[in-house]
Amino acid sequence: MDMVSLIEKECSMQWLSEYLEKRTTAAEAVQEIRSGQSVYIHPGCATPQDLVAALLARSRDLEDVEIIHMKTLGMADYTQPEYERSFRTIALFVGENVRQAVCEGRAEYMPIFLHEIEGLFESGERPLDFVLLQTSPPDKYGYMSLGVGVDCTLTAARHAARVIAEVNPNMPRTLGQSFLHISEVHRVVEVSHPLPELQAEPSTDLQRRIARNVASLIPDGATLQLGIGAVPDAVLACLGNHRDLGMHTELFSDGVIPLIEKGVMNGAQKTIHQAKLVAGFVLGTRKLFDFIDDNPLFEFHPIKYVNDPFVISQNRRMVAINSALQVDLTGQVCSDSMGTKIYSGFGGQVDFIR
Protein backbone atom coordinates (compact mmCIF):
# COMPACT_ATOMS: atom_id res chain seq x y z
CA MET A 1 0.00 0.00 0.00
CA ASP A 2 1.49 3.38 -1.01
CA MET A 3 1.67 6.46 1.21
CA VAL A 4 -1.43 8.09 -0.26
CA SER A 5 -3.50 4.95 0.33
CA LEU A 6 -2.39 4.88 3.96
CA ILE A 7 -3.30 8.54 4.41
CA GLU A 8 -6.68 8.27 2.68
CA LYS A 9 -7.99 5.93 5.37
CA GLU A 10 -8.21 8.61 8.03
CA CYS A 11 -8.19 12.02 6.45
CA SER A 12 -10.51 14.80 5.47
CA MET A 13 -10.62 15.23 1.69
CA GLN A 14 -10.12 18.97 2.10
CA TRP A 15 -6.44 18.79 3.00
CA LEU A 16 -5.76 15.60 1.02
CA SER A 17 -6.55 17.33 -2.27
CA GLU A 18 -4.12 20.09 -1.31
CA TYR A 19 -1.47 17.48 -0.49
CA LEU A 20 -1.94 15.76 -3.85
CA GLU A 21 -1.69 19.05 -5.73
CA LYS A 22 1.63 19.83 -4.05
CA ARG A 23 3.28 16.47 -4.78
CA THR A 24 6.22 16.57 -7.16
CA THR A 25 9.73 15.19 -7.62
CA ALA A 26 12.85 16.55 -5.94
CA ALA A 27 14.22 17.66 -9.32
CA GLU A 28 11.05 19.57 -10.16
CA ALA A 29 10.75 21.11 -6.70
CA VAL A 30 14.20 22.73 -6.73
CA GLN A 31 13.62 24.17 -10.21
CA GLU A 32 11.96 27.08 -8.42
CA ILE A 33 15.24 28.13 -6.77
CA ARG A 34 16.95 31.02 -8.56
CA SER A 35 20.44 32.52 -8.53
CA GLY A 36 21.10 34.87 -5.64
CA GLN A 37 18.43 33.37 -3.40
CA SER A 38 18.87 31.92 0.10
CA VAL A 39 18.15 28.31 1.04
CA TYR A 40 17.95 26.94 4.60
CA ILE A 41 18.59 23.19 5.01
CA HIS A 42 17.06 21.11 7.83
CA PRO A 43 20.06 19.96 9.93
CA GLY A 44 21.11 16.83 11.79
CA CYS A 45 19.39 13.49 11.27
CA ALA A 46 16.61 15.32 9.38
CA THR A 47 18.86 16.50 6.54
CA PRO A 48 16.72 16.14 3.35
CA GLN A 49 19.15 14.13 1.25
CA ASP A 50 17.14 13.91 -1.98
CA LEU A 51 16.49 17.66 -2.09
CA VAL A 52 20.14 18.48 -1.40
CA ALA A 53 21.23 16.12 -4.19
CA ALA A 54 18.67 17.65 -6.57
CA LEU A 55 19.88 21.16 -5.77
CA LEU A 56 23.46 20.12 -6.38
CA ALA A 57 22.44 18.69 -9.77
CA ARG A 58 21.26 22.19 -10.76
CA SER A 59 24.62 23.80 -10.01
CA ARG A 60 25.34 24.76 -13.63
CA ASP A 61 22.15 26.80 -13.76
CA LEU A 62 22.79 28.72 -10.53
CA GLU A 63 25.07 31.45 -9.25
CA ASP A 64 25.63 32.76 -5.73
CA VAL A 65 22.92 30.73 -3.99
CA GLU A 66 23.34 31.14 -0.24
CA ILE A 67 23.00 27.87 1.69
CA ILE A 68 22.51 28.34 5.42
CA HIS A 69 22.35 25.60 8.04
CA MET A 70 23.56 24.25 11.35
CA LYS A 71 25.23 20.81 11.62
CA THR A 72 23.98 18.69 8.74
CA LEU A 73 24.71 15.01 8.19
CA GLY A 74 25.66 13.32 4.96
CA MET A 75 26.80 14.90 1.74
CA ALA A 76 27.65 18.63 1.60
CA ASP A 77 29.36 18.71 -1.78
CA TYR A 78 28.08 22.25 -2.40
CA THR A 79 31.15 23.36 -0.39
CA GLN A 80 33.59 21.74 -2.84
CA PRO A 81 35.82 24.02 -4.96
CA GLU A 82 34.05 23.16 -8.21
CA TYR A 83 30.78 24.62 -6.89
CA GLU A 84 32.13 27.97 -5.62
CA ARG A 85 30.41 29.90 -8.39
CA SER A 86 27.05 28.27 -7.71
CA PHE A 87 26.83 28.10 -3.91
CA ARG A 88 28.19 29.83 -0.84
CA THR A 89 27.61 28.21 2.53
CA ILE A 90 26.95 29.98 5.82
CA ALA A 91 27.39 27.54 8.69
CA LEU A 92 25.73 28.49 11.97
CA PHE A 93 27.43 25.42 13.47
CA VAL A 94 30.30 23.67 11.71
CA GLY A 95 29.93 19.93 11.13
CA GLU A 96 32.63 17.66 9.80
CA ASN A 97 31.15 17.77 6.29
CA VAL A 98 31.82 21.54 5.93
CA ARG A 99 34.76 21.98 8.33
CA GLN A 100 37.49 21.88 5.68
CA ALA A 101 35.61 24.36 3.48
CA VAL A 102 35.28 26.80 6.38
CA CYS A 103 38.95 26.51 7.27
CA GLU A 104 39.94 27.03 3.62
CA GLY A 105 37.65 30.04 3.17
CA ARG A 106 35.16 28.48 0.74
CA ALA A 107 32.40 28.59 3.34
CA GLU A 108 31.63 31.03 6.12
CA TYR A 109 31.10 30.41 9.83
CA MET A 110 28.69 32.76 11.60
CA PRO A 111 29.37 32.78 15.36
CA ILE A 112 26.02 32.99 17.16
CA PHE A 113 24.40 31.68 20.33
CA LEU A 114 22.02 28.90 19.40
CA HIS A 115 18.95 30.45 21.02
CA GLU A 116 19.43 33.64 18.96
CA ILE A 117 19.48 32.01 15.51
CA GLU A 118 15.72 32.09 14.99
CA GLY A 119 15.70 35.82 15.67
CA LEU A 120 17.63 36.28 12.42
CA PHE A 121 14.70 34.83 10.49
CA GLU A 122 11.92 36.42 12.55
CA SER A 123 13.39 39.92 12.28
CA GLY A 124 14.11 39.67 8.58
CA GLU A 125 17.81 40.28 9.19
CA ARG A 126 18.47 36.98 7.42
CA PRO A 127 15.55 36.54 4.98
CA LEU A 128 14.97 33.03 3.64
CA ASP A 129 13.67 32.35 0.15
CA PHE A 130 13.44 28.56 0.59
CA VAL A 131 13.49 26.03 3.39
CA LEU A 132 14.30 22.41 2.49
CA LEU A 133 13.14 20.08 5.24
CA GLN A 134 12.01 16.55 6.04
CA THR A 135 8.81 15.53 7.84
CA SER A 136 6.70 12.56 8.83
CA PRO A 137 3.63 11.78 6.71
CA PRO A 138 0.62 13.93 7.62
CA ASP A 139 -1.78 12.69 10.28
CA LYS A 140 -5.53 12.58 9.75
CA TYR A 141 -5.72 16.33 10.35
CA GLY A 142 -3.01 17.19 7.82
CA TYR A 143 -0.21 17.90 10.31
CA MET A 144 3.32 16.71 9.56
CA SER A 145 5.88 16.35 12.36
CA LEU A 146 9.44 17.61 12.03
CA GLY A 147 10.36 14.47 13.91
CA VAL A 148 14.00 14.24 14.92
CA GLY A 149 14.65 17.96 14.37
CA VAL A 150 12.40 20.82 15.44
CA ASP A 151 15.56 22.84 16.31
CA CYS A 152 15.46 26.17 14.39
CA THR A 153 13.68 24.67 11.39
CA LEU A 154 10.06 25.17 12.46
CA THR A 155 10.68 28.90 12.88
CA ALA A 156 12.65 29.07 9.63
CA ALA A 157 9.78 27.41 7.75
CA ARG A 158 7.24 29.88 9.13
CA HIS A 159 9.30 32.86 8.00
CA ALA A 160 10.48 31.61 4.60
CA ALA A 161 8.90 32.55 1.30
CA ARG A 162 8.57 28.89 0.27
CA VAL A 163 8.87 25.50 1.98
CA ILE A 164 9.77 22.25 0.22
CA ALA A 165 9.25 19.11 2.30
CA GLU A 166 10.53 15.58 1.89
CA VAL A 167 7.74 13.44 3.37
CA ASN A 168 9.26 10.24 4.72
CA PRO A 169 7.51 7.35 6.54
CA ASN A 170 10.82 6.68 8.32
CA MET A 171 10.59 10.04 10.09
CA PRO A 172 9.16 9.55 13.60
CA ARG A 173 6.13 11.54 14.67
CA THR A 174 7.39 13.48 17.67
CA LEU A 175 5.13 15.49 19.93
CA GLY A 176 5.17 19.02 21.29
CA GLN A 177 5.63 22.17 19.23
CA SER A 178 6.78 20.10 16.28
CA PHE A 179 4.17 20.29 13.53
CA LEU A 180 3.65 21.96 10.18
CA HIS A 181 0.27 21.74 8.45
CA ILE A 182 0.16 20.84 4.76
CA SER A 183 -1.18 24.37 4.14
CA GLU A 184 2.20 25.74 5.35
CA VAL A 185 4.18 23.71 2.78
CA HIS A 186 4.45 24.65 -0.89
CA ARG A 187 5.89 21.48 -2.43
CA VAL A 188 5.85 17.84 -1.24
CA VAL A 189 8.43 15.26 -2.32
CA GLU A 190 7.61 11.73 -1.18
CA VAL A 191 10.68 9.68 -0.21
CA SER A 192 11.31 6.48 1.72
CA HIS A 193 15.00 6.42 2.58
CA PRO A 194 16.51 5.76 6.03
CA LEU A 195 17.30 8.87 8.04
CA PRO A 196 20.96 9.84 8.45
CA GLU A 197 22.28 8.39 11.70
CA LEU A 198 24.97 9.47 14.15
CA GLN A 199 26.63 6.50 15.81
CA ALA A 200 28.13 6.99 19.27
CA GLU A 201 31.84 6.31 19.49
CA PRO A 202 33.03 3.83 22.15
CA SER A 203 34.36 5.69 25.18
CA THR A 204 37.98 5.42 26.22
CA ASP A 205 39.17 4.59 29.72
CA LEU A 206 40.04 8.26 30.27
CA GLN A 207 36.58 9.38 29.17
CA ARG A 208 34.95 6.83 31.49
CA ARG A 209 37.04 8.14 34.40
CA ILE A 210 35.96 11.70 33.61
CA ALA A 211 32.34 10.51 33.36
CA ARG A 212 32.44 8.87 36.80
CA ASN A 213 33.70 12.11 38.30
CA VAL A 214 30.97 14.12 36.58
CA ALA A 215 28.26 11.66 37.58
CA SER A 216 29.29 11.99 41.25
CA LEU A 217 28.43 15.72 41.05
CA ILE A 218 24.87 15.17 39.79
CA PRO A 219 22.22 15.03 42.56
CA ASP A 220 19.04 12.97 42.44
CA GLY A 221 16.20 14.98 40.96
CA ALA A 222 18.50 16.99 38.69
CA THR A 223 17.42 18.22 35.26
CA LEU A 224 20.11 17.57 32.66
CA GLN A 225 21.37 19.24 29.53
CA LEU A 226 23.50 16.95 27.38
CA GLY A 227 26.01 18.18 24.82
CA ILE A 228 27.55 16.30 21.90
CA GLY A 229 30.47 13.95 22.46
CA ALA A 230 31.85 10.84 24.04
CA VAL A 231 32.08 12.32 27.54
CA PRO A 232 28.39 13.32 27.84
CA ASP A 233 27.46 9.87 26.48
CA ALA A 234 29.75 8.20 29.01
CA VAL A 235 28.18 10.25 31.84
CA LEU A 236 24.75 8.86 30.97
CA ALA A 237 26.12 5.33 31.36
CA CYS A 238 27.18 6.20 34.92
CA LEU A 239 23.77 7.42 36.12
CA GLY A 240 21.99 4.09 36.49
CA ASN A 241 21.72 4.37 40.29
CA HIS A 242 20.33 7.92 40.32
CA ARG A 243 16.67 8.74 40.91
CA ASP A 244 14.09 11.03 39.31
CA LEU A 245 16.33 12.71 36.76
CA GLY A 246 14.80 15.09 34.24
CA MET A 247 15.94 16.45 30.90
CA HIS A 248 15.79 19.93 29.36
CA THR A 249 18.33 19.96 26.53
CA GLU A 250 18.87 21.17 23.00
CA LEU A 251 19.67 17.58 21.96
CA PHE A 252 20.04 14.03 23.19
CA SER A 253 21.16 10.69 21.81
CA ASP A 254 20.67 6.94 22.31
CA GLY A 255 22.27 7.06 25.76
CA VAL A 256 19.04 8.21 27.43
CA ILE A 257 17.11 5.06 26.49
CA PRO A 258 18.50 2.75 29.23
CA LEU A 259 17.91 5.43 31.89
CA ILE A 260 14.30 5.89 30.81
CA GLU A 261 13.65 2.15 30.65
CA LYS A 262 15.05 1.75 34.19
CA GLY A 263 12.83 4.58 35.48
CA VAL A 264 15.86 6.72 36.38
CA MET A 265 14.99 9.51 33.95
CA ASN A 266 11.30 10.36 34.40
CA GLY A 267 11.11 14.11 34.96
CA ALA A 268 9.15 13.60 38.18
CA GLN A 269 10.88 16.43 40.05
CA LYS A 270 11.02 18.99 37.24
CA THR A 271 9.55 22.41 37.96
CA ILE A 272 8.50 23.19 34.36
CA HIS A 273 7.15 20.61 31.93
CA GLN A 274 6.91 18.19 34.82
CA ALA A 275 7.15 14.51 33.83
CA LYS A 276 8.16 15.56 30.29
CA LEU A 277 11.61 15.33 28.73
CA VAL A 278 12.15 18.50 26.71
CA ALA A 279 14.48 18.85 23.71
CA GLY A 280 14.94 20.61 20.38
CA PHE A 281 16.33 17.70 18.35
CA VAL A 282 18.07 14.33 18.54
CA LEU A 283 21.31 12.97 17.08
CA GLY A 284 21.31 9.21 17.14
CA THR A 285 20.36 5.96 15.46
CA ARG A 286 17.26 4.15 14.23
CA LYS A 287 16.79 2.72 17.72
CA LEU A 288 16.36 6.23 19.11
CA PHE A 289 14.09 7.32 16.25
CA ASP A 290 11.75 4.41 16.99
CA PHE A 291 11.86 5.15 20.73
CA ILE A 292 10.71 8.77 20.37
CA ASP A 293 8.03 7.97 17.78
CA ASP A 294 4.64 9.09 19.13
CA ASN A 295 6.10 8.85 22.67
CA PRO A 296 4.26 11.26 25.01
CA LEU A 297 7.19 11.31 27.44
CA PHE A 298 9.02 13.65 25.05
CA GLU A 299 8.18 17.26 24.16
CA PHE A 300 10.03 18.91 21.31
CA HIS A 301 10.17 22.70 21.05
CA PRO A 302 12.07 25.29 18.99
CA ILE A 303 15.55 26.12 20.22
CA LYS A 304 14.60 29.75 20.89
CA TYR A 305 12.50 28.35 23.75
CA VAL A 306 14.51 25.34 24.88
CA ASN A 307 17.78 27.30 24.99
CA ASP A 308 16.43 30.56 26.36
CA PRO A 309 18.50 31.14 29.55
CA PHE A 310 15.42 32.54 31.30
CA VAL A 311 13.52 29.32 30.56
CA ILE A 312 16.47 27.12 31.49
CA SER A 313 16.83 28.88 34.83
CA GLN A 314 13.33 27.81 35.89
CA ASN A 315 14.43 24.17 36.05
CA ARG A 316 15.19 22.86 39.53
CA ARG A 317 18.76 21.55 40.04
CA MET A 318 19.76 22.29 36.46
CA VAL A 319 23.01 20.52 35.47
CA ALA A 320 24.63 21.24 32.10
CA ILE A 321 27.08 18.62 30.75
CA ASN A 322 29.27 19.73 27.85
CA SER A 323 32.66 18.92 26.36
CA ALA A 324 35.58 21.29 25.87
CA LEU A 325 38.42 21.12 23.34
CA GLN A 326 41.01 23.24 25.14
CA VAL A 327 41.67 24.91 28.50
CA ASP A 328 44.43 27.50 28.83
CA LEU A 329 46.69 28.25 31.79
CA THR A 330 44.30 30.91 33.12
CA GLY A 331 41.34 28.48 33.11
CA GLN A 332 39.59 29.76 29.99
CA VAL A 333 37.65 26.99 28.24
CA CYS A 334 37.37 26.77 24.44
CA SER A 335 34.80 24.51 22.79
CA ASP A 336 34.44 25.84 19.25
CA SER A 337 37.97 25.99 17.83
CA MET A 338 41.52 24.75 18.14
CA GLY A 339 43.88 27.67 17.80
CA THR A 340 42.78 29.52 14.69
CA LYS A 341 40.97 26.51 13.24
CA ILE A 342 37.18 26.55 13.60
CA TYR A 343 36.05 23.11 14.73
CA SER A 344 32.33 23.38 15.57
CA GLY A 345 30.67 26.50 16.97
CA PHE A 346 29.10 27.95 20.09
CA GLY A 347 26.10 25.66 19.85
CA GLY A 348 23.96 25.80 22.96
CA GLN A 349 26.71 25.44 25.53
CA VAL A 350 26.85 29.14 26.48
CA ASP A 351 23.03 29.35 26.66
CA PHE A 352 23.08 26.73 29.42
CA ILE A 353 26.23 27.97 31.15
CA ARG A 354 24.48 31.28 31.70
Q: Which residues are catalytic?
A: 250
Q: How many residues does the chain have?
A: 354
Nearest alpha carbon to residue 233 among 204, 264, 262:
204
Nearest alpha carbon to residue 56 among 20, 83, 24:
83
Nearest alpha carbon to residue 74 among 103, 102, 95, 99:
95
